Structure 1
Amino acid sequence: MKTNPQTSRRLLLGGLALALVGALAFVALRTGPLAPVKVQVTPVTKGRVTPEIFGIGLVEAQRSWMVGPTTAGRVLGVRVDAGQTVQPGQVLAEMDPVDLDQRLAALDASLARAQSVQRAADAQLGDAQARRTLAMANLKRNEELARQAFISPGALEARTQEVASAHAGVAAAQANLGGSTQDIARLRAERAALAQQRSNLRLLAPGAAVVTAREAEAGTTVVAGQAVLRLMDPASLWVKLRVDQGRSAGLAPGLVASIALRSRPGETLIGKVARVESLADAVTEERLAMVAFDSLPAGVSVGEMAEVTVQLPAAPERLLLPNAAVVQHEGKTGVWRLTDGVPAFSPVVLGAQGLDGQVQVLEGLNEGDTVVLYSQTALKPGARIAVVDRLVPSGAAR
């Protein structure tokens, strides 16, 4: 029996079509949109997490000063330069006194004149008191004579008037003496104020410090409060630490910290959280803390970057899970848990987290549960999955 060539051609084409459809179905089921999602899984285990807080900071000085005049003036001279060490009370710079020295000399002359006036007033008081004593003695004698009718009443009245005038003279002399004393006190106060102004023109070191900047030179005119020199206490260096607000739970003074300076790679310095600022940075959403060195190393520069790891108290034993397994689904935090090989979203309550990527699971899972660690694409409940050891073959990722 002979086969019709046209029929053979149709059978061949049909076979090819079936093979092509089968190949397309195979590709769609294995590598296409219908293929199972490749996932990497991990078990839920029990253990302890050592919570730590990591942040970046800058080395700053706890005590620093801006040394400048209290009144506007011209810089007469600067005696120190940046980098020099100064001692308490050392003269750092001096302002031009202009006419302060002449005004002090004028006040000294006025004070000397006021003291002369005071001595004259004191002498006048002594003279007035002597006159009053004599007038009172004369009045007493005339009263005795008047009782014996040896003098007239008019003569007795004249002696009485002399006593009253003597009292008035003493009061006037006392007033003059008091006025001269007040003049001297005023002049002394004015001189003390002027001398203080003159003393303020000498800019002194407030403590043992290092000059960090020289802001003005001789001949420069500065205003009140403007810095001529900037100082800092080299023994008061600490790190101003910035920590993400979402990872700052438990940050408190007294916690031990490990400090790694950029200038000292591989070297770890021990410190302690000295203060946690009550005002956070609303722009960067960071909390600020000051970390002090236990032993300040030599050669640390202000403004140097530092990486700080703060150690929190050890957490109790709980269920642990890699942080990479935690996802957000429909506004909830949870994981994809496998039940009979089928993923289902399970909301969880998380606890403390360590820098090694482990996080505590407080609610939502049991020990031994299997959860999805990584997935090739976003999962949906009931999705077909294929568990693999690695999502990226060894040597493919770089």
Structure 2
Amino acid sequence: MNFNSRLRFWVLAILFACVVGFYLYEWGGLGPQKVVAAKVETGTLKPTVFGIGTVQAKMNYNIGPTQTGRILRLYVDQGDSVKAGQVLGEVDPVDLEQRITGSNAALVSSQHNAETARAQLQDAMSRNQLAQTEAVRYEKLFESGAISKELLESKQNNAEVAQAVLASTVSAFQAAQSMVDQAAADYHGQIEQKRNFMLISPVDGMVVARQAEAGSTLVAGQAVFIMIDPKTLWVQTRIDQARFSGVALGQSAEIVLRSNQTEVLCGTVDRLEVRGDTVTEERFVDVKFTNIPSSIFLGDLADVTIKLPEVTNSLYIPVAAIKTINGEDRVWVVQNGKAYCKLVKTGVRTVDGKAQIITGLKQDEIVILFNNSKAQLAEGTRVRLVAAL
């Protein structure tokens, strides 16, 4: 092999070695691991909590008879708007009208008896007053010797009889008046019972379900109509328990119905339910509409974003940099070209992927977001930034 051939061989060998070395450095395991990183920054965070819920009504009413009966007529159907006091339907009262007529007749009869007893009482009072006056007058005449003792005793006996008759008449009048009260109570009870056979709307609302038809026999308490008050519509929202901290009554929210995703509706947190779902580890938050849209249906799914109080002048990093290890939040930071794991305490998080850092990091520190290499990061691993956010 001459000199030129040897030179060509060594040049090619060196080039091959450089290519292999460059490949191993860039894509192999010899070079630093390539990472995407970001700086720790300071600013104002506008945290939110996101949840998914369903449209429901706070005020629901089950309208049905208070006693067993057969439905006679129904006047409304599901989807109808009704007014407070409006009759929605009637239950067959069977012989109730006849019983009301009998009760009314008994009331009128007792009132006549009471009037008769009143007249007898007035007569007894007059007779008693006369008898008592005569007894006093005859006693004075006896004292003056004008009449005999037998005549005085006769007048005194008449006065005692009149007094007894008055007492008996008073009792008879009171009994008659009690019969009037009893008959009136029975009559008004029958009238009220007739109202119980009327299915009446308790509020201005909307019928959302009609669960029986005319001719059906119902037991007491069985619902014929289900009503809601449309002014009390809200979204029962499920919030992850881990994100629930900071949610409070009165906070504003944005509601986007799945049936109309082009419109953002405003709402406020109206109730924090004390019960939760132990299976999904979620809490329930009821968000009412500020202005209820005209076209909305019970059971509609909705995306709800609750706005938490702003956090000013706070350190933050992208949420992607946070790794949860054994229940603790940690981040990988880059120092002098090497990766180190740090324990951090995080606060609120925003919908655009920012997380508040309470302790563990300083301004302008570099945190690793993604590791482009297949190998896992370890303490002191050499890294190289290939992109920064």
**TM-score bracket, shorter-length normalisation:** 0.7 to 0.9
Give the structure 2 partner of residue 7 of structure 1: none
- Cα displacement (A) at 1:295: 2.2
Residue by residue over 1:270-322, the C-alpha shift from the partner in whole angstroms, topping out at 9 and shown as x without a partner, is: 22222333333333322222222222222111111111112222211222211
Give the structure 1 partner of residue 139 of structure 2: 143
Which aligned pairs between 1:170-319 and structure 2 lie closer than 5 A? Answer: 170-319=166-315
Give the structure 2 partner of residue 360 of structure 1: 356
Query: CA separation in 1, counterparts of 2:136 and 2:291?
Result: 90
State the AA in 1 paired with 2:370. Y
Give the structure 2 partner of residue 18 of structure 1: none
Could you tell me the percent identity over the aligned residues? 37
- Cα displacement (A) at 1:341: 1.9
Q: Measured at CA, do residues 328 and 90 of structure 1 come closer, stay the same or move farther in structure 2, by a change above 3 Å?
A: closer
Q: Measured at CA, do residues 163 and 384 of structure 1 come closer, stay the same or move farther in structure 2, by a change above 3 Å?
A: same
Query: CA separation in 2, counterparts of 1:219 and 1:171?
Result: 57
Q: Measured at CA, do residues 308 and 209 of structure 1 come closer, stay the same or move farther in structure 2, by a change above 3 Å?
A: same
Give the structure 2 partner of residue 379 of structure 1: 377
- Residue 159 in 1 paired to residue 155 in 2? yes
- Residue 337 in 1 paired to residue 333 in 2? yes
Q: Measured at CA, do residues 316 and 234 of structure 1 come closer, stay the same or move farther in structure 2, by a change above 3 Å?
A: same
Give the structure 1 partner of residue 318 of structure 2: 322
State the AA in 1 paired with 2:277. D
- Cα displacement (A) at 1:146: 2.9
Query: CA separation in 1, counterparts of 2:279 and 2:61?
Result: 28
- Cα displacement (A) at 1:38: 4.2
Q: Secondary structure at the match of 2:270?
A: strand
Query: CA separation in 2, counterparts of 1:69 and 1:330?
Result: 59
Query: CA separation in 1, counterparts of 2:273 and 2:187?
Result: 46
Give the structure 2 partner of residue 21 of structure 1: none
Which aligned pairs between 1:100-139 and structure 2 lie closer than 5 A? Answer: 100-139=96-135
Q: Measured at CA, do residues 134 and 352 of structure 1 come closer, stay the same or move farther in structure 2, by a change above 3 Å?
A: closer
Q: Secondary structure at the match of 1:296?
A: coil
Residue by residue over 1:166-207, the C-alpha shift from the partner in whole angstroms, topping out at 9 and shown as x without a partner, is: 100011011100110011011111211121111121111222
Query: CA separation in 2, counterparts of 1:160 and 1:172?
Result: 19
Say which is worse superposed, 106-115 or 149-158, in terms of deviation.
149-158
Say which is worse superposed, 62-71 or 27-36, in terms of deviation.
27-36
Q: Secondary structure at the match of 1:360?
A: strand
- Residue 61 in 1 paired to residue 57 in 2? yes
Q: 91, 94, 101: which one pairs with 1:95?
A: 91
Residue by residue over 1:21-59, the C-alpha shift from the partner in whole angstroms, topping out at 9 and shown as x without a partner, is: xxx999999877888644332222222222111111111
Query: CA separation in 1, counterparts of 2:34 and 2:78?
Result: 63
State the AA in 2 paired with 1:382. G
When the two structures are aligned, how many residues end up with a matched partner?
Answer: 368
Give the structure 2 partner of residue 81 of structure 1: 77
Which one has a larger percent strand, Structure 1 or Structure 2? 2
Query: CA separation in 2, counterparts of 1:264 and 1:129?
Result: 84
Q: Measured at CA, do residues 128 and 343 of structure 1 come closer, stay the same or move farther in structure 2, by a change above 3 Å?
A: same
Q: 33, 36, 39: which one pairs with 2:35?
A: 39
Residue by residue over 1:223-245, the C-alpha shift from the partner in whole angstroms, topping out at 9 and shown as x without a partner, is: 22221111122333222222112
Query: CA separation in 1, counterparts of 2:119 and 2:343?
Result: 102
Q: Measured at CA, do residues 363 and 149 of structure 1 come closer, stay the same or move farther in structure 2, by a change above 3 Å?
A: closer
Q: Root-mean-square deviation (CA), in Å? A: 2.7
- Cα displacement (A) at 1:106: 1.4
Say which is worse superposed, 279-288 or 191-200, in terms of deviation.
279-288
Uncovered stretches (5+) of structure 2, i.e. residues with no partner: 1-19
Query: CA separation in 2, counterparts of 1:54 and 1:93?
Result: 43
State the AA in 2 paired with 1:271. G
TM-score with structure 2 length normalisation?
0.86
- Residue 71 in 1 paired to residue 102 in 2? no
Say which is worse superposed, 278-287 or 249-258, in terms of deviation.
278-287
Q: Secondary structure at the match of 1:120?
A: helix
- Cα displacement (A) at 1:94: 0.6
Q: Measured at CA, do residues 328 and 161 of structure 1 come closer, stay the same or move farther in structure 2, by a change above 3 Å?
A: same
Query: CA separation in 2, counterparts of 1:108 and 1:292?
Result: 51
